Amino acid sequence: MKKGTKRLLRGLAVAAGGLSALGAILARKKMRAKQQRIAINPLNVWARPGMKVFFRAELMPGREREERAFRVKELLPSGRVLLDGVAGEHAEREFEPIQ
């Protein structure tokens, strides 16, 4: 390989590394901004402890609406919830829209 080609490839490698580092920094900055918005405005959440939520019918086929109803035990910082009587964390998209 010629000397000029090696220099070009090294320069491209350095530029690619720099762009990926910049992308990681911007992604981290965006995540921090989102966390700050959640911390600043905790009143704007989709569920509250003690609230009744209903799983979507397609997630629990063959069950009536009341059989798909559960109470929120705890709201997690990620926006997910823990439910009474159901194991695991659950996201907003798993439930019917609140009316």
* One domain for residues 58 and 87: yes
How many domains, the chain? Answer: 2
pLDDT, position 39: 62
Q: In this structure, is residue 60 part of a structural domain? A: yes
Give domain status of residue 47, yes or no.
Answer: no
Tell me, yes or no, whether 25 lies in a domain. yes
Domain annotation covers residue 80: yes
Asked, for residue 10, whether it belongs to a domain, the answer is yes
Q: Each residue's pLDDT tens digit in the chain (99 positions)? A: 898 999 999 999 999 999 999 999 999 988 888 777 666 555 667 888 999 999 999 988 999 999 999 999 998 888 899 999 889 999 999 999 876
Range of the domain at 11: 1-42
Instruction: Count CB atoms within 10 A of the CB of residue 59.
Output: 12
In a domain, 79, yes or no: yes
| Predicted TM-score (pTM) above 0.75 | no
Residue 99 domain-assigned (yes or no): no
pLDDT, residue 67, reads 93
